[in-house]
Homo-oligomer: A and B are copies of this chain.
Amino acid sequence: MTTPNQTPNLPVILTGDRPTGPLHLGHFVGSLRNRVAYQHSYQQFVMLADAQALTDNMDDIGKVHRNVVEVALDYMAVGIDPALTTILIQSQIPELAELTFYYLNLVTVARLERNPTVKEEIRQRGFERDIPAGFLTYPASQAADITAFKASLVPVGEDQIPMIEQTNEIVRKFNRMYNCAILVEAKALVPEIGRLPGIDGKAKMSKSLGNTINLGATPDEIRAAVKQVYTDPLHLRVQDPGHLEGNVAFMYLDAFDTEKAALEEMKAHYVRGGLGDSIVKKRLEVVLQEMLAPIRERRELLAQDRGYVMQVLKDGTMKAREVAARTADEVRAALGLSYF
């Protein structure tokens, strides 16, 4: 019942999240909304990347464990349907570690150190020379995840494109060295709508910056967050002309308000002058409350039936493991590691 009946001819998408905190509006715009659409036209695997999350959270494993279920609740609450999408827990598929192990032989240390995504992330985390080896090598692990499911499409942000390129280098090298077509090259699927800014106007909405609105936020939390939403600091008096650039209230309305004509009118009025921020925020609050209410309700209902959620994760993981195990069998055979 809960395992997807996927049509094998559809292209495969692999996507997922590091379960280190609850998902928020930024995830909704950047990925979750797309996944709900993709599941009708692709074979979609959504991975709770707990093993990858550990690469820099070995000292806070409780956070990772806890958030596996929290993120799964977010997935199902926004409409990722276990009957259409395979939701899996990375750590429960040892074949992914096994593929990583072999791919590490196909990539040099120098190449990993040159990976721009890894470089930037190492810089952000301040690791310097004390990089955990698992962190430096995680592109090989990502290549394992992508190739295990023979994904040809991987939705990623602009900044993750070098990761996909590194996966494809491994794919081409493996297929060439072992004269086979076992591994499949993947294409980065970069969403058209860019990142949602944080409520404080910072470019990125991120739990570590404390500028998020979580998908499970209560009505009060939504109200409080909207009050703090950054608008136009030069728009001091209602009658003054307001600016739309960098105005988070209008960026959110652009992303979520479905009444586009009324929104355009409101924007014109704001730019002309005579429209106060409080009116704009009132509209934003209505839009967000309406959008998040059913998500929150579904989330609360699901949270009460943890047994069901765990069964969904178990079924999805078992289904995904079968696929990954077939790929691992093929890889092992190509490497001359089949004996029995």
Contacts and interface: CB of A to CB of B under 8 A. Distances in A.
Nearest to A135: B105
A109 B94 contact: no
Most chain B CB neighbours (cut-off 10 Å) among A102, A112, A134, A137: A134
A275 interface: no
B313 A89 contact: no
A54 B102 CA distance: 8
Q: List the number of copies, as a whole number.
A: 2
Given A133-B140, A177-B59, A105 B314 contact: no
Nearest to A91: B337
Interface string A112-138: 100000000000000001111111110
30 contacts: A51-B102, A51-B337, A56-B105, A58-B177, A58-B335, A61-B178, A61-B335, A61-B336, A64-B336, A89-B339, A91-B332, A91-B335, A94-B94, A94-B95, A94-B98, A97-B97, A97-B98, A97-B101, A101-B101, A101-B134, A104-B132, A104-B133, A108-B131, A110-B130, A133-B136, A133-B137, A137-B137, A310-B339, A313-B339, A314-B339
Nearest to A59: B177
Nearest to A69: B339
Interface of A: 50-51, 54-56, 58-59, 61-62, 64-65, 68, 89, 91-92, 94-95, 97-98, 100-102, 104-110, 112, 129-137, 140-141, 177-178, 310, 313-314, 317, 328, 332, 335-337, 339-340
Contacts of A55: 104-105
A141 to B, nearest CB: 7
A323 to B, nearest CB: 15
A317 B98 CA distance: 16
A130 B108 contact: yes
Given A100-B97, A335-B54, A108 B92 contact: no
